[in-house]
Amino acid sequence: MISAPTHAHLRRSLLYVPGSEERKVAKAASLGADAVILDLEDSVAETRKGEARILITAALRSRTASGPEWLVRVNAIHTPHFDADLACAVESAPDALVIPKVDGPDVLRQVDARLAAAERAAGRPVGSLKLFAMIESARAILNAPAIAGASPRLTGLILGHVDLSLDLGLTPGPAGAGIIHHARCQLVLAARAAGVDAVDAVVLNIQDHDGCRAEATQAAAMGFVGKQAIHPGQIPIIHQAFTPSADRVRRAERILETWRQAQTEGRGVVALDGELIELPVVAMEQRILDRARRAG
């Protein structure tokens, strides 16, 4: 199953780039990720937040229209960095902000209000910056449906399974089983019910390409639109998992052709290779073709 697009962007891979690392920031646009997350939060040392804001502002100024979608992850609203991060974001105008530690809808509503004030102060149109909310605690998982409906700016929910594991008293591990997998299911349902994108967990081991492939394939089959990446080597693996294969595209074309033929013969349902084709099946097959076309 492949999810419906809710906007023009493919969001198969969202690559984190530590905002304080000039070399990585400079390379970010050329690595092929669908989206880049310029990070001000956990990958930037407390003492280097200011430096990271300057680098991020410069990077966003020099971006081109044909590049990836640009996201900035700010520090959480309860930290002393939040106001300066917000000012940096409004000034540098990325496509969206990633808000960490969104434990409940109230957090997102407060972020929305503070952002609107910052947009007004900067003379920018209010509401122009979209938001992704990071779901990374037990409370956040239980509140996910309310969070997903808390702001019209919201465009996606992102699973932060490492912080979630910490909150649950676990040790870091893969996301494909156990309670983390349960959380993934909850997140997809909450996101889809609100019509926003669901983005899957990171794979911390950058050498474990098989693990990354397995988890990304599972995520695509669950309705996630994409997966977070921390290393360039993970991007092609993730893209493959979230892009319909040539075989799958041929099958979709065959199903649609069979359906069109049945329609011309005045039939509403038809079977192909023993499987029923009905309207929702047709819609899903069309979505697969659309996704393949958008992935080129």
The residues of the shown chain that bind Mg ion, judged by CB under 5 A, are 136, 160, 163
Rounded least distance, CB 98 to ligand COA, Å: 10
- Buried b / exposed e over 129-142, threshold 16 CB at 10 Å, is bbbbbbbbbeebbe
- 50 makes contact, choosing from Mg ion, ligand COA, none, with CB < 5 to 8 Å by partner type, with none
Rounded least distance, CB 235 to ligand COA, Å: 10
Rounded least distance, CB 96 to ligand COA, Å: 16
Cα gap 106→281, rounded to integer Å? 38
Cα gap 189→195, rounded to integer Å? 10
Rounded least distance, CB 79 to ligand COA, Å: 16
* Residue 134 or 150 with smaller CB distance to ligand COA: 134
Rounded least distance, CB 138 to ligand COA, Å: 19
* Residue 227 or 291 with smaller CB distance to ligand COA: 227
* Residue 208 or 253 with smaller CB distance to ligand COA: 208
- 161 makes contact, choosing from Mg ion, ligand COA, none, with CB < 5 to 8 Å by partner type, with none
* Residue 69 or 136 with smaller CB distance to Mg ion: 136
Rounded least distance, CB 187 to ligand COA, Å: 17
* Residue 5 or 211 with smaller CB distance to ligand COA: 211
- 184 makes contact, choosing from Mg ion, ligand COA, none, with CB < 5 to 8 Å by partner type, with none
- 163 makes contact, choosing from Mg ion, ligand COA, none, with CB < 5 to 8 Å by partner type, with Mg ion
- 24 makes contact, choosing from Mg ion, ligand COA, none, with CB < 5 to 8 Å by partner type, with ligand COA
Question: Applying CB under 6 A, which residues contact ligand COA?
Answer: 15-18, 23-24, 27-28, 39, 42-43, 202, 206, 230-232
* Residue 170 or 272 with smaller CB distance to Mg ion: 170
- 232 makes contact, choosing from Mg ion, ligand COA, none, with CB < 5 to 8 Å by partner type, with ligand COA
* Residue 39 or 119 with smaller CB distance to ligand COA: 39
Radius of gyration of the CA atoms of the chain, in A: 20
